[in-house]
Structure formats: C-alpha cells, structure tokens
Amino acid sequence: MSGWWKNAVGYQIYPRSFRDANHDGIGDLQGIIEKLPYLQSLGVDFIWLNPVYASPNVDNGYDISDYQDIHPDFGTMADFEELLAKAHASGIKIIMDLVVNHTSDQHPWFLEAKKGKDNPYRDYYLWADATETKMPNDWKSFFGGSTWTYAGSSQAYFHVFAPEQPDLNWKNPKVREEIYRMIRWWLDLGIDGFRLDAISHIQKEPWDFNITDNPWAPFMNVAGIEVYMKELKEIFDDYPIMTVGEASGVSSKKAAHWTKEDGYLNMIFELEHNVREGQQGAERLNLLGFKKVLSRWQKDLGANGWNALYVENHDNPRIASILGDESPKSAKAIATMYMLLKGTPFIYQGQEIGMTNFAFQSMEQIDAQDSHKLYRILLESGSSPEEALRKVTHWTRDHSRTPLQWEGGMYGGFSSLLPWMAVNDNTAHLNIAEQEKDEQSVLNHYKQLIGLRKSQSFFSEGTFELILKNHPQVFAYLRKTDTKQVLVLANLSRKSCQIDLPTRVSNKKWCLLLANSDQPAIEKRILMQPYDAWVFEEVTAAAG
C-alpha cells in the first residue's frame, strides 16, 4: 500500500539506550525484540532505528565502517532478521538510518583512499592540496574546527562532521553505484524505509566558494544535489517504503518540491523549529519562534508535500525540560499540540513518559563529540571549567541519550549492569511501569493521542489554520475538512493567560475530545492555566 505512512505514527529508538537484553550495559537488538509488546501497546506503526551498523563509535554509529554488518554491541545480522520478522508479525514496520554523506575513517574504502593519490579508492572521498598548516579553505565543520584534516601527500580530506567521518565524493559514479547497491540490499531484505541522515549535505560548493553570512552555506542543499536525489528516488520507487530525510537547509518553500507526490522523499525533518532564547547555559525554546516555524511549515506544505512532526530526537535535549516545566501536565500539553498537526508524528523513546534532562555533574558523564569540542573551545576562550560545564551540558544532546526508564529499580530496568551512560535518578518515580498503571499518566495521554490520530483519516487529511497567531504563550489551531472541524488549544507556558477566540470559533458549538485538565466551555474569552491543553470537535447539525 503506497502512502501508508500518512496515517502512521512512528517511534524513534536509540538502540544503545533502549533496552539491554544481554546485560553488558549497552542496549541491543534482542532488547528491542523483548519490548515489541510494549511498542504494540503504545500503538505505533513503525520504528526508526538509529544506526546499528559496524562502527568505531566516534559518533555513536554515525561513523559506519561496514554498511552491511551489525555492530557486535547490538548483536548480529541474524538478530536483525529476527527483529524484522517479529516486528512485522506485531504489525510494526522498521525504518533504518541511512548514513551516506560520510563513512567512518575506518571504512575499508577510506583505509585504501588515504594510502595515496594513486589509490583506486582515492576518489571515493574529497581531497584538496594542503600543507600541515594551510588548509584548502577556512570552512568550519558542524562539530567545531576545520572541515579539513591533513593526511600526508600534500593533501587534506574533507569532513562536515568529525575528522573520523570523511565525506563521500558523490560526484564519483562508482561511489553512487556502491551506495545504491547497498540500499537495494537492505530494501530487498524487507525493511520498510529509511531516515536519510544529513542528506542535504551530500553536494558541496567549489572549494573557492565565498562564505558571506551562513557558515554552512557551502554544503547545505547546494545546486546539483537534485541529480543524486532523483537517482535515490528511482530506487525508492521500486519498493512500498517510506523515506524521511534529515534535510536542514531545505527551506519550507523548497520542501514541497522535495516531498510532493512525486518528490524525492516522502517527508523531511526540518531543523528550524529549534528556536532558542536566553543566555547560553540557560536557554529555553522560544515558543513564539517555535510556533511560527511549525505553522509556516504546515502552511507551505499544506497542498503539496508532507511534514514529519517531532519535538525530540537523539540530537536535542528533552522537550519537557526546555519547553515544559518537567511536569506531566506540560509533557501532555506539548504532545497534544504537535501530534495533531498535519504530517507523520514521530515520538522519541522516553518522550512518551515525559523523560527530562539529566543533571550532568562532570564532562566525564558526557559522550557526545560536539559537546567535548565546545567545552574545549569555551575553556580556550576563557570560561572557567564550571561555567563551561554549565554552558555545554545545558543543551547537550546527551540529555536524550540516557537509558530509557522502564522501572523504578536499579538502573531503571534498562540493564542489570552499570549502563554505558548514567540513568536519571528520577526513574524512581518517572518510569514506564508506573505510568502503565496510571490512567492519568503522560503515557496514557500519548496512547489516547495515537488512538485519536489513527481512528480516522481526518488528521492526515484536514487543513491547518493557525489562530491567535501572535499570542506569546498559546499555540492554537483549527484542523478542517468539509464535514468536520477540530480546535486545539495549548498554553505552552508556566503562566496562566487569557485568550480571545475569533468569533467564527466562539460562535460554534464544540464538544471535548481530549484534555489534560478541567476544560471550560468555549466562549469568546477563556482563561488558561499553565500548560492547559484541550482538543475540541465542532458539534454539527448532522452529528446531532
């Protein structure tokens, strides 16, 4: 069935931190198999697995040394096939991370390429003349420092992420052929799609390109990328799969072209809505900015194209801490607000119970490359160690990588051995087992939202209209088809406030679908308490 993903809800699994079945402190594929019944009870239709391939783990699996093998930490290829079969038997599809902007520097291709200019694999990567002290240009990498690393033979190689993640040369047809063969190999195995990592970076500007304002411009959705995207699409079209690209730099205007009916991909993750405000080390998500970006994407992809909806992933802090106030009520409000937008919602592991940020005490507790780099930069620029720690850990992506909190006991029921990353102490009261028993829990609120979305195609079909556009606290919108209308109101702040609904809304009759608090009757003027969130449906004559 093509288009199945329009009515689907996805769940992102960060395998290292999901569930450790063999008790070595690291999550694994058998752990996912063990928890399939949980995912089924949640009601999700597919899971996206962060990379489980062979990797030296400089960037936790995003540095791949063998695309067609499983990292021994996670299990074997046989474990993967068992997971795929059992997930399918449970009605759950599996999409895999596809990391093809770069490989690991330990990938056999790179080990060959770095041997010298005449090596047949040299052109699999990007090289330019340099000396140990003079790089081909001054471009900066996403992880800090130069995009170039000198490797002898009077040349440096190019990397938009860590030096251990050399970028592949997509201009080389041989590289594309190898990648395409690998993609088909996975699809022929029966997986249900891909999340394409950093895909908007595969094309680069010429090395003498002049950077004006945006430091990432030389490798963000650069012209010429359409050739590669079309080739990828031709492969994807042969399978009944879903594809979601991580495509930062593709604007909401251009995204329609990427995700329309015959676009390159089914949907993309935009990275724009992560609008921060406040001092470094104490920032919060800026609600008005967040709301404006999300509603612009809703509007620009209204008629053509499709959105991927998310508020958390493995690269960002926990939403309950940076937008919510860590209360269950705020977690529910955020869920209500984003899960009823138009698009395919993704839930990141732990988000469904309102997991919170971790109080990091030292840099030793931090694994993320980019955080260590930033820490060094801050120290060099004069910050004290305490200050640098605070600044780095406030927004580190490791907040989302602490083990999933299954139970209240030792190591949160994730493992019986000291986990690779610390478990949050609040697992004592914030965990899945507790929330399964509590009807009012965040978990049960998520189940209701998933049920609501899936019980009808309305939420994938209806139009989106933002109301109370400039209200700094409340995210409010209407979803509409010819026969039905739904109103979503969410106060996403710690303060109560008053809203004045447009008359065309307040003069209709509404009944409640879902709420996280006592809801009022709909009137022109309504008082909202902190993190109140309500969903109403219009009562029409036809419905009685």
- Catalytic residue IDs: 197, 246
Residue 153's contacts (CB-CB under 8 Å, 6 or more residues apart) are 116, 117
With CA atoms as reference, report the closest residue to 526 among 492, 505, 501, 495: 501
Q: Is 246 in the site for Ca ion (CB under 5 A)?
A: no
22 binds Ca ion (CB under 5 A): yes
**Which residue number, 73 or 246, has a Cβ lying nearer to ligand TEU?**
246
Binding part of the chain for Ca ion, among 24-32, 96-104, 313-321, 528-536 by CB under 5 A, reads 24-32
Q: Smallest Cα–Cα separation from 220: which of 245, 178, 248, 193?
A: 248
Site membership for Ca ion, residue 416 (CB under 5 A)? no
Least distance (Å) from Ca ion to the CB of residue 162? 25
Q: What is the 3-state secondary structure (H, E, C) of 400-424?
A: HHCCCCCCCCHHHHCCCCCCCCCCC
| 53 is a contact residue toward ligand TEU (CB under 6 A) | no
150, exposed or middle or buried, with CB in 10 Å at 0-12, 13-18, 19+?
middle
The terminus-to-terminus CA distance of the chain in angstroms comes to 35
Q: If DSSP codes are grouped into helix, strand and coil, which group holds residue 527?
A: strand
Pairing of strands 127-129, 53-54: unpaired
22 binds, among Ca ion, ligand TEU, none (CB under 5 to 8 A by kind): Ca ion
Residues 280-319 that bind ligand TEU (CB under 6 A): 314-315
Residue 161, binding choice from Ca ion, ligand TEU, none, Cβ under 5 to 8 Å by partner class: ligand TEU
Q: Output 249 or 305, the one with its CB closest to ligand TEU.
A: 249
Q: Which of 28, 63, 167, 352 binds Ca ion (CB under 5 A)?
A: 28
Distance of alpha carbon 146 from the chain centroid: 26
Residue 198 within binding range of ligand TEU, rule CB under 6 A: yes
Q: Count Cβ atoms within 10 A of the Cβ of residue 350 and give its class: 0-12 exposed, 13-18 middle, 19 or more buried.
A: buried
Stretch that binds Ca ion, among 13-21, 375-383, 428-436, 466-474 (CB under 5 A): 13-21
* 456 lies in the site for Ca ion, by CB under 5 A: no
Nearer to ligand TEU, 99 or 443 (CB): 99
Return the structure tokens found at 419.
Answer: 């986990």
What Cα–Cα distance (Å) separates residue 541 from each residue in 486, 509, 536? Answer: 15, 10, 16
Structure token digits, residue 71? 């990292």
Q: Is 531 in the site for ligand TEU (CB under 6 A)?
A: no
Q: Which of 8, 13, 26, 151 binds Ca ion (CB under 5 A)?
A: 26
Per CB under 6 A, does 271 bind ligand TEU?
Answer: yes
Residue 24 binding Ca ion, by CB under 5 A = yes
Longest dimension (CA), the chain: 79
Whole-number minimum distance, CB 121 to ligand TEU, in Å? Answer: 21
In angstroms, give the least distance from the CB of 395 to ligand TEU: 13
Pairing, β 10-13 against β 93-98: unpaired
Residue 112, interface with Ca ion (CB under 5 A)? no
The correct pick among 14, 18, 46, 62 for binding ligand TEU (CB under 6 A) is 62
Q: Going by C-beta distance under 8 Å and a sequence separation of 6 or more, which residues neighbour residue 533?
A: 332, 333, 336, 337, 488, 489, 490, 491, 515, 516, 517
Select from 161, 170, 306, 536 the one that contacts ligand TEU (CB under 6 A): 161
Q: Is the CB of 322 or the CB of 452 nearer to ligand TEU?
A: 322
Q: Does 248 bind ligand TEU (CB under 6 A)?
A: yes
Q: Which does 62 bind (CB under 5 to 8 A by kind): Ca ion, ligand TEU, none?
A: ligand TEU
CA distance 247 to 227: 16
| Residues that bind ligand TEU in the complex, under the rule CB under 6 A | 59, 62, 99, 142, 161, 197-198, 246, 248, 271, 314-315
| Residues that bind Ca ion in the complex, under the rule CB under 5 A | 20, 22, 24, 26, 28
